[in-house]
Amino acid sequence: MPQGFSQLFDYPSGLLFPFGAGGTHISGVIPVNSITYVETRNTLSKGSLLRGLINLCLFSLLATGCSKNESNPTVLPAVQKRERIDGWRNAHWGMTEEEVLKAFPSEARKLDKPEKYHGAVASVAIEKLAIVEKDFRVHFQFDDQTKKLVQINLRMLDTSGAVDVYFPALERKLTEKYGKPDFVNNGTPSDTSARVITLERSWKRDSTRIELSYSNIKLINAEDLLIVYRAVPTSGDNKL
């Protein structure tokens, strides 16, 4: 019984309350005039029993009021399992050209003149894809030997405002999706004469490396903003 309750409720020593009253021992429950009371080994007078029942009712009302806010406990949302990252959108590492074309039926097309890269060839593309209100060209690169998908490049077509507006916007978007980047390069010029400036962010998630980069050779005013998804061994890739 909380301190002060015995003074507030003048209960008889023989009546046991729901929270106990000095450890009184219960010996039975007896109905009287459709009201059930608890009989103890102590002998109760008729007057003390009546007072005890009245105080018990008051105590029950108080306890109900105190627990009112506990009737609607806060329900926490269920923890959702994170989706595995093994490619980009519907494209997954190891797909063939035909599988990629089927994965993007209304967007992707086979290039008439595939573009060569180191150890890979881009033979499938999405010509225009809107990201953060800018158009990007998407190239799907397939390994020279296995003919399987190994990398996807998303390059901004018009780079005006790339460094000031769109690089930060893309970084926020990718961070919301993949979390804090594993690697950050904040753009110290690598060649003061040519004024080559680069900004880089990189994430490693499952079998995928995601890279966001901006470069600007100010001498010739050449800007480039690129997002790269590439396949990496799940236990390897020591770039960072």
The pLDDT tens digits of the residues spanning 93-139 come to 999 999 999 999 999 999 999 999 999 999 999 999 999 989 999 99
17-21 mean pLDDT? 42
Q: Evaluate whether 110 touches 100 at the Cβ level (below 8 Å).
A: no
Whether 180 and 117 share a structural domain? yes
Whether 44 and 109 share a structural domain? no
Whether 114 and 16 share a structural domain? no
Q: Evaluate whether 39 touches 29 at the Cβ level (below 8 Å).
A: yes
- In the chain, how many domains are there? 2
Range of the domain at 204: 87-231
Whether 12 and 91 share a structural domain? no
Whether 106 and 214 share a structural domain? yes
Q: Which of 20, 37, 68 is the last residue of a domain?
A: 68
Mean pLDDT across the chain: 76
Question: Can you tell me the distance from the alpha carbon of 240 to that of 204, in angstroms, rounded to the nearest whole number?
Answer: 9
Within-domain flag for 220: yes
Q: Which spans in 15-85 are helix H?
A: 46-66
169-185 mean pLDDT? 96
Within-domain flag for 158: yes
- Give the confidence band of 217 by pLDDT, cuts at 50, 70, 90: confident
Whether 114 and 56 share a structural domain? no
Within-domain flag for 237: no
The pLDDT score that the predictor gives to residue 196 is 82
Whether 23 and 118 share a structural domain? no
CB atoms within 10 A of CB 33: 4
Whether 112 and 193 share a structural domain? yes
Q: 3-class DSSP state for residue 131?
A: strand
Whether 55 and 122 share a structural domain? no
Within-domain flag for 125: yes
Within-domain flag for 207: yes
The pLDDT score that the predictor gives to residue 26 is 41
| pTM of full prediction above 0.75 | no
Whether 91 and 191 share a structural domain? yes
Within-domain flag for 133: yes
Lowest mean pLDDT among 55-69, 101-115, 138-152: 55-69
Within-domain flag for 73: no
Whether 107 and 169 share a structural domain? yes
Within-domain flag for 238: no
The pLDDT score that the predictor gives to residue 56 is 59
Whether 98 and 36 share a structural domain? no
